[in-house]
Amino acid sequence: MAELKASRRKTQTAQSVTLDGDALEQVLRLAPVGPAAACLGTLKKGMRMAAVTAGQFSLIDILRAILDQTGPADVLCCAWTVGIRDAEVAGWLLHNGGMIRSLRFLVHDRFPATEPAYCGRMVEIFGPEVFTLARIHAKVLVVQNEKWSVVVQSSMNLNRNDQWEQFTLDESRPLAQFYWDLEARIRADIGPGVHWNPRDVTAAHGATKAAAKNEIAPLLVEYEKRQEAKAVAAVAAMAVGAPAEIPTHLEFLRSEYTTLDAAQKAAVKNGQSNAVDKLSAQKKKIYDELRVVSATQDTVTLSPAEATAQLRAMVEGAPAGVQHQIMQDIRARFPHWMNEEEEAD
C-alpha cells in the first residue's frame, strides 16, 4: 500500500507518495509558492517526481537547484524560447560558476528570426556551436555526470511565465541517453550553429522525420505480427489442452467461447484493436450458435472432420508459422482426428 505524507512547510503545499518494497520513490507536489529548490527537495537515485507550480520559477531555476545537488555536470536544454535573464544565468554557470561542464541548446528554428536580440546575445555568451535548431516545441532538461542522470520534462521554457506550469523529474540514465541521442541525431542532419533563415532547417527537419519513420515502420509491423500470433495462439490453445476424448458439439462451443473471451480480454489489455475486433466477431458467431445448441441440449459428438475443420477455422489468417505450430500440436494431441480426416479426404 502507498503511504501518503503531507508537508507542513510554509513555503509550499506538498504531498509525497512513497511506494513500499523495491518500487521507485514517486513524489507528487503542488507548489504554488516557494523557490525551485524547495519544490525539488532532496534528489535520490532512481526517483520519479511530478510537480505543478504557479509559475514562480522557470526551467533555469530548476537547473540551478539540480546542479547544487549533483555538482558540475553536462547539460542539454531543449526549449522553444530563452529569455535574456535566463541566458545570462546559464552563461555564468558555464563560464564563471563552473557548474556546467558542457552545454547544448536545442531550440526552435524560428528563434533567431522572432527573437534576434535574445538570440544574438546568446551567441555572444555561448558561441554558435552550442546551438542546434529544429522544428521543436519540447521542453526538456538533461543534467548528467558520472553519478547523476537527471531528466526534467516540462511545460516551462527558459524564461519565467506567471502561469500554472508542470514538470516531471526522473533520475534515469537510459532516459538521459535517449535525449542525448536525439539531439545528436538532429545535429548530424541539420548541422550545429544558428541558422538565421528557418528555411535552412526545414528540409533537414523533413529528412530527419522520414528517416525515423523508416526505422520504426518495420519494428511496428513486426510487433503487430507478434501480438496477433500471441492472440491466435491463445485462441487455439484449447485444442492442445482439450480432453483426450472428442468433445460433444455443446462442450466444444463452450470451450471455444471461453477461450475466445480470454483471448479478447488479453488483446484489450495489450491494446491490440485489430485482434479485439476479430475475436469479438468470432465470439458473437459462437455465442449465437451456442444459444441454439443450448436450447436443444444437443449432445451430438463432433466428427473428427468437423472438429478439425473448426479448429482450422480458428487459426485462419494467422501467420503461416503459427498455423503450422498449432496444427502440429493438434496432430500430436489428437492423431485420430487427423488420420480419420485424411482418410475421409
pLDDT band for position 306 (cuts 50, 70, 90):
low
Given the C-alpha cell 527537419, which residue does it identify?
A: 205
pLDDT at 224 over 80: no
210 vs 180: which has the higher pLDDT: 180
What's the pLDDT score for residue 189?
A: 78
**Distances, alpha carbon 72 to alpha carbons 101, 118, 136, in Å:** 6, 26, 27
Is residue 227 a contact partner of residue 272, using CB atoms and an 8 Å limit?
yes
Nearest Cα residue to 186 out of 102, 105, 98:
105
pLDDT band for position 9 (cuts 50, 70, 90):
very low
Sign of the Cα torsion 180, 189, 159, 123 reads positive
- DSSP labels for 55-74? SSS-HHHHHHHHHHHH-SEE
H or E stretch covering 28: strand 26-31
Query: Which DSSP letter does residue 13 get?
Result: E
pLDDT band for position 341 (cuts 50, 70, 90):
very low
pLDDT, tens digit, 9 for 90 and up, residues 259-276: 888 888 888 887 787 788
pLDDT at 21 over 60: no
> Where are the domains positioned within the chain?
3-197, 218-344
- DSSP labels for 78-131? EES-B-HHHHHHHHHHHHTS--EEEEEEEEETTHHHH-HHHHHHHHHHH-GGGE
pLDDT band for position 229 (cuts 50, 70, 90):
low
Mean pLDDT is lowest, of 159-173, 231-245, 277-291, for 231-245
What's the pLDDT score for residue 23?
A: 45
What's the pLDDT score for residue 92?
A: 85
Sign of the Cα torsion 185, 186, 190, 192 reads negative
Q: Which CATH superfamily is domain 3-197 in?
A: Endonuclease Chain A (3.30.870.10)
Instruction: For the beta carbon of residue 162, count every other beta carbon within 10 angstroms.
Output: 8
pLDDT band for position 88 (cuts 50, 70, 90):
confident
Is residue 115 a contact partner of residue 138, using CB atoms and an 8 Å limit?
no
What's the pLDDT score for residue 70?
A: 96
Average pLDDT along the chain:
74
255 vs 105: which has the higher pLDDT: 105
Q: Which positions ≥6 away from 264 have C-beta within 8 Å?
A: 275, 276, 279, 280, 283
pLDDT, tens digit, 9 for 90 and up, residues 128-146: 888 888 888 889 999 999 9
Measured distance CA(280)–CA(264) in Å, rounded = 7
pTM over 0.75: no
pLDDT, average across residues 145-174: 90
Is residue 37 a contact partner of residue 68, using CB atoms and an 8 Å limit?
yes
The C-alpha cell that represents 84 in the structure block: 535574456
H or E stretch covering 242: none
pLDDT band for position 22 (cuts 50, 70, 90):
very low
Query: Which DSSP letter does residue 243 get?
Result: -
Nearest Cα residue to 167 out of 11, 63, 90:
63
Measured distance CA(183)–CA(258) in Å, rounded = 50
